[in-house]
Amino acid sequence: FVFLAAFSGMTAVARQPLGIILADADLRRAFASAMAETAALGRAKGVELSGDVSERLMSFAGGLPAEMKSSMLHDLEKGKRLEAAWLSGAVSRMSRELGLAAPVNSTLYAALKPYAGG
């Protein structure tokens, strides 16, 4: 979920495949921050996650095909409904409920909300 929420939100908002996200310093930093926010939320909810989970997932992402797109980006491109509320939106909502900051996930969700219904 740490990877999926960030991958889905970032590729959909940027409307770019993973390779573009990772190659651009600003997008890469936002992607890493989105994962760190989700990991912090998981830990606050009692999920045992290693302290380096975001770094390990960034390494994992670097091994994936550069042209890889999330299913949410595919759905967005086809005008279909988006699962944003259950990914970045869930991270945003649950973080807010626990008093945690999740600015990247909140921004990803806010940017995708207008397209959520297809």
With contact defined as beta carbons under 8 Å apart, do 20 and 14 qualify? yes
- Interval 35-55: pLDDT, tens: 999 999 999 999 999 999 999
Give the residue among 66, 73, 57, 63 at the shortest CA–CA distance from 14: 73
Give the residue among 6, 32, 18 at the shortest CA–CA distance from 63: 18
The pLDDT of residue 67: 98
Q: Stretch 79-95: mean pLDDT, rounded?
A: 98
The pLDDT of residue 34: 98
pTM here is 0.95
Q: CB within 8 A of 4, min separation 6: which ones?
A: 70, 87
